[in-house]
């Protein structure tokens, strides 16, 4: 475990045990106004002060800077950066390292492998920012799958479609080189290239053209990404990992994935920046109005997130929110198990993926992971957790 302060790692420690012990936590820290305490604990040993610049490590792991909360790093990623951390005075217990297979050599790619690969794309670092060639290209290929197109494309088509995306959404100072992701995405283990052999330098566009090269998502990756849940999770993950600071609505719209930036699938209301955004008239399929009334009555208009009831002159006001949007692109069901009763503010925050509901019903802020509330649930309201998982996927919380 590394401790972070002001862009430096200032201490390291070894995690000896993970504990869940509410009485102990209560004894040490007491409880807050909601009777909550810090009951999930870590026992640390070998705490040593260090002083290491955090930037190269966080960038290499594509973790946003500054680091804001507890962030877990997988063992194999940690190993890549171990040499940057000063060794302890007593030798670290060495774990025999297995010969790590190159991702490209994986015989079959599993779901976890896919998400791990998506989260740790090797990107060029230019001016302290990773270039976006690879994530843009992957998003484009996921868009193709979503539209029912084939996974492999020839170089000319690839160039014609991907180059304008790189120009518009790449880092301002990075060159438009579609041949780079076409060729180098293979190292992610998610991509295959046909017609050209070799591992070396990037072939020139002319070489790719004369070889009639084709490229696209690997078979296994494509099979996983054709499933709606995995697709939502992959898009959410790519967006939160690589596109935090660009107009995701227009990027997703350009690659045929409009609607994935909100739970409802509707474009953001009221000004999103892009002047050329099309005007969308509501194309929502008919909702069952009785369900809407039912859920509002069940909660007596109290928001399931914050509990507040918006008062009106003669009654109260609340909104029925679908967890997984009905209609394109999410195709969620119009039923009570896919509905929440929310106040207008939390409806917007939920729909625009600023908050999400965790496995244990805690409502968390997506930017920090902080717990804000516990979701209020009526005894007669059975919420389908699969829909919450889909929503978390859109939030980039795989
Ligand atoms: Zn609320």
Query: Does the structure show a pLDDT above 60 at 78?
Result: yes
| Ligand 1 centroid to residue 346 C-alpha, Å | 5
Peptide linkage before 66 cis (omega within 30 of 0): yes
* 299 CA distance to ligand 1 middle (Å): 12
Assign 80 to helix, strand or coil: helix
What is the per-residue pLDDT across 346-377, written as a single tens digit (0 to 9) for each? 999 999 999 999 999 999 999 999 999 999 99
| C-alpha 265 – ligand 1 centre gap (Å) | 21
**How far does residue 315's CA lie from ligand 1's centre (Å)?**
17
- For the cut 60, the answer to whether the pLDDT of residue 320 exceeds it is yes
Residue 77 reports pLDDT greater than 60: yes
Q: What is the mean pLDDT of residues 286-309?
A: 95
pLDDT at residue 327 greater than cutoff 70: yes
Coil, helix or strand for 143?
helix
Q: Give the pLDDT of residue 126.
A: 63
pLDDT at 98 > cutoff 60: no
Tell me the CA–centroid distance for residue 319 and ligand 1, in Å: 10
- Cα separation, 10 vs 8, whole angstroms: 6
In angstroms, what is the span from residue 328 Cα to ligand 1's centroid? Answer: 26
235 Cα: distance to centroid of ligand 1 (angstroms):
27
Q: What is the rounded average pLDDT of the residues 155-179?
A: 92
How far is ligand 1, taken at its centre, from the CA of residue 318, in Å?
Answer: 9
Instruction: Give yes or no for a contact between 135 and 238, defined as CB atoms under 8 angstroms apart.
Output: yes
CA of 343 to the centre of ligand 1 (A): 4
What spacing in Å lies between the alpha carbon of 66 and ligand 1's midpoint?
29
Residue 103: the pLDDT is 42
pLDDT digits over 217-249, tens only?
Answer: 999 999 999 999 999 999 999 998 888 888 999
Provide the pLDDT for residue 46. 79
Query: Would you say residue 267 has pLDDT above 90?
Result: no
Whole-angstrom distance, CA of residue 245 vs CA of residue 37: 34
* Structure token pair of residue 126: 């230019």
Predicted local distance difference test score (pLDDT) of residue 160: 97
Cα-to-centroid distance, 354 and ligand 1 (Å): 13
Q: Which of 150, 278, 288 is nearest to 219 (CA)?
A: 150
Give the closest residue to 257 by CA, choosing from 287, 286, 282, 236: 236
pLDDT band, very low/low/confident/very high, at 145 (cuts 50, 70, 90): very high
Tokens of 99: 């010969």
Q: Rounded to the nearest whole angstrom, what is the distance from the C-alpha of residue 373 to the centroid of ligand 1?
A: 10
CA–centroid distance, residue 389 to ligand 1 (Å):
20
pTM: 0.69
Most confident of 32-41, 99-108, 286-295, 303-312: 303-312
- 120 neighbors 235 (Cβ within 8 angstroms): no
Name every residue whose Cβ is closer than 8 Å to that of residue 115 and which is 6 or more positions away in sequence: 233, 234, 237, 398
Give the closest residue to 235 by CA, choosing from 114, 70, 103: 114
Mean pLDDT of 27-31: 81
Q: How far apart are CA 372 and CA 356, in angstroms?
A: 10
- Closest to 371 in 3D by CA, of 22, 32, 23, 2: 32
Is the predicted pLDDT of residue 324 greater than 90, yes or no?
Answer: yes
User: Residue 164 pLDDT more than 90?
Assistant: yes
DSSP 100-113: PPPGGG-SS--HHH
């Amino acid at each position: 475990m590394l401790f972070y302060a002001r862009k430096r790692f200032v201490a390291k420690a070894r995690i000896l045990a993970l504990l869940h012990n509410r009485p102990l936590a209560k004894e040490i820290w007491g409880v807050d106004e909601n009777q909550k305490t810090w009951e999930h604990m870590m026992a640390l040993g070998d705490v040593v002060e260090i002083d290491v610049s955090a930037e190269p490590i966080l960038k290499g792991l594509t973790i946003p800077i500054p680091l804001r909360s507890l962030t877990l790093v997988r063992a194999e990623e940690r190993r890549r950066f171990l040499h940057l951390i000063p060794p302890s005075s007593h030798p670290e217990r060495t774990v025999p390292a297995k010969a790590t297979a190159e991702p490209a050599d994986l015989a079959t790619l599993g779901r976890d492998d896919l998400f791990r690969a998506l989260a740790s794309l090797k990107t060029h670092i230019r001016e302290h920012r990773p270039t976006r060639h690879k994530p843009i290209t992957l998003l484009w290929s996921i868009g193709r799958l979503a539209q029912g197109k084939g996974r492999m494309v020839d170089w000319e088509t690839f160039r014609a479609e991907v180059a304008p995306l790189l120009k518009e959404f790449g880092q301002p100072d990075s060159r438009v080189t579609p041949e780079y992701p076409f060729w180098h995405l293979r190292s992610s283990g998610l991509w295959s290239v046909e017609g050209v052999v070799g591992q070396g330098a990037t072939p020139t566009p002319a070489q790719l053209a004369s070889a009639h090269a084709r490229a696209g998502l690997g078979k296994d990756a494509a099979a996983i990404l054709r499933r709606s849940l995995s697709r939502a999770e992959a898009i959410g993950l790519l967006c939160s990992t690589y596109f935090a600071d660009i107009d995701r609505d227009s990027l997703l719209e350009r690659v045929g994935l409009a609607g994935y930036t909100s739970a409802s699938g509707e474009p953001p209301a009221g000004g999103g920046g892009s002047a050329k955004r099309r005007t969308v008239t509501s194309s929502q399929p008919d909702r069952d109005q009785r369900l809407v009334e039912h859920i509002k009555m069940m909660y007596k208009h109290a928001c399931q997130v914050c509990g507040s009831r918006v008062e009106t002159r003669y009654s109260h006001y609340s909104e029925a929110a679908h967890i997984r949007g009905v209609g394109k692109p999410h195709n969620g069901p119009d039923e009570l198990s896919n509905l929440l009763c929310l106040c207008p503010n939390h409806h917007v925050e939920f729909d625009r993926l600023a908050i999400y509901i965790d496995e244990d019903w805690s409502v968390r802020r997506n930017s920090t992971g902080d717990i804000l509330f516990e979701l209020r649930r009526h005894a007669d309201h059975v919420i389908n957790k699969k829909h919450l998982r889909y929503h978390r996927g859109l939030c980039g919380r795989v």
